Amino acid sequence: MGVRVAGTRGAGFRIAARAPAPDQLHSARCLARAACRPCLAGGARVAPACHALAAGGRARSSVVCAAKVEAVSPPPNAVKTIEFPREVAGFLIGKKGAHVRAVSKRANVRIDSRDEGKKRIFTVKPNRKTDADAVQQALGILREAAAAYKEVLAGNSRGNENNEILVQGIKFGYNPPQRRRRDNNDRGNNGFSGRGRNGGRGGGRRVSGNVIEKKRSARAQRRELRESRITKSVRQEIFEVPEEGMAVSDLATELALDPTEIVKVLFLNGKMATVNQIIDAESVTLVAEEYGVEVLQKESEDTVVKVTFEGDEDVTEGEQEARPPVVAIMGHVDHGKTSLLDRLRKSQVAEGEAGGITQSIGAYSINVNSSWITLLDTPGHEAFTAMRARGASVTDIAVLVVAADDGVKPQTKEALQQAQAAGVPIIVAVTKMDVSGAQVERVKQELSQINLLPEEWGGETVVVPLSSKTGEGVDQLLDSIVLLSEVYEYKGVSDVPARGTILEANMDKSCGPIASCIVQAGSLKIGDVVAAGTGYGKVKSMTDASGESRDEVKPSFAVQMIGLNNVPSAGDAFQVVEDEQTAREMAEKALDKERKARLSEQSSGSFMSFGSFDGFEGTENDLKVQNIILRAGASGSLEAVKGSLRELPQEKVLLRYLLSATGDITPSDVDLASTSDAQIVGFDVTPSEEVLAHAKQLGVKIYSSDIIYNLIEDVQSTMVSLLEDVEVMDQVGEAEVLAVFGSNKSKVAGCKVTDGVVQNTSRVQVMRKKRQVYEGDVTSLRIVKEDVSEVVEGSECGIGCAAYEDWKAGDKIVAFSVSRKKATLD
Residue 154: count other Cβ atoms within 10 Å of its Cβ.
Answer: 9
d(CA 659, CA 509): 20
**Average pLDDT of 422-427?**
84
User: Which tops the pLDDT comparison, 274 or 390?
Assistant: 274
Using one digit for the tens of pLDDT, what is the confidence trace for 101-137?
Answer: 888 888 888 888 888 877 888 888 888 766 788 888 8
Q: How are beta strands 294-297 and 371-377 bridged, if at all?
A: unpaired
Three-class SS of residue 219?
A: helix
Residues with Cβ within 8 Å of residue 347, at least 6 apart in sequence = none
Least confident of 3-7, 461-465, 738-742: 3-7
Residue 423 in this model has a pLDDT that exceeds 60 = yes
d(CA 505, CA 516): 6
Confidence (pTM): 0.50
Question: Where does residue 227 fall: left (phi above 0), alpha (psi -120 to 50 degrees), or beta otherwise?
Answer: alpha
Confidence class for position 538, pLDDT limits 50, 70, 90: very high
Confidence class for position 80, pLDDT limits 50, 70, 90: confident
Using one digit for the tens of pLDDT, what is the confidence trace for 464-507?
Answer: 998 888 888 888 888 888 888 888 888 888 888 888 888 888 88
d(CA 629, CA 471): 45
Which one-letter amino acid corresponds to residue 284?
A: V
Strands (E), 601-651: 624-632
pLDDT recorded at residue 675:
84
pLDDT recorded at residue 306:
47
What are the structural domains of the chain? 4-70 (no CATH), 80-173 (3.30.1370.10), 238-297 (no CATH), 324-489 (3.40.50.300), 499-583 (2.40.30.10), 613-721 (3.40.50.10050), 726-821 (2.40.30.10)
Per the CB < 8 A criterion, the answer to whether 360 and 634 are in contact is yes
Distance of CA 414 to the CA centre of its chain: 35
Candidates 223, 219, 203; CA nearest to 211 is 219
d(CA 63, CA 551): 129
pLDDT recorded at residue 299:
53
Question: Where does residue 138 fall: left (phi above 0), alpha (psi -120 to 50 degrees), or beta otherwise?
Answer: alpha
Candidates 699, 700, 697, 640; CA nearest to 665 is 700
The phi, psi pair for 786, rounded to 5°, reads -100, 130
d(CA 481, CA 476): 9
Residue 316 in this model has a pLDDT that exceeds 90 = no
Calculate what percentage of the chain has a pLDDT beyond 70: 74
User: Which tops the pLDDT comparison, 124 or 228?
Assistant: 124
d(CA 389, CA 301): 8
Q: How far apart are the first and last CA of the chain?
A: 113
Output the CA–CA distances (angstroms, integers) from residue 753 to 756, 792, 796, 808, in the order listed: 7, 7, 6, 16
R_g of the chain, CA atoms, integer Å: 50
User: Which tops the pLDDT comparison, 577 or 509?
Assistant: 577
Burial 452-466 (b: 16+ CB within 10 A, else e): bbbeeeeeebbbbbb
Strands (E), 342-455: 362-368, 371-377, 397-403, 426-431
Residue 734 in this model has a pLDDT that exceeds 90 = yes
pLDDT recorded at residue 646:
81
Candidates 457, 156, 160, 499; CA nearest to 313 is 499
Which one-letter amino acid corresponds to residue 23?
A: D
pLDDT recorded at residue 257:
82
**Angle (nearest 5°) at CA 643 between 821 and 700:** 60
Output the CA–CA distances (angstroms, integers) from residue 731 to 360, 734, 764, in the order listed: 52, 8, 9
Residue 816 in this model has a pLDDT that exceeds 90 = yes
Residue 73 in this model has a pLDDT that exceeds 50 = no
Candidates 17, 12, 48, 18; CA nearest to 32 is 48
Most confident segment among 51-55, 716-720, 794-798: 794-798
**Average pLDDT of 345-374?**
60
pLDDT recorded at residue 43:
45
**How is residue 485 annotated by DSSP?**
H
Question: Where does residue 606 fall: left (phi above 0), alpha (psi -120 to 50 degrees), or beta otherwise?
Answer: alpha
pLDDT recorded at residue 815:
93
User: Which tops the pLDDT comparison, 643 or 373?
Assistant: 373
Q: Write the DSSP string, 531-547.
A: EETTEEEE--EEE-TTS
d(CA 471, CA 344): 9
d(CA 629, CA 674): 11
Residue 746 in this model has a pLDDT that exceeds 50 = yes
**Average pLDDT of 278-293?**
82
pLDDT recorded at residue 813:
93
d(CA 99, CA 90): 10
Give 800's strand partners: 780
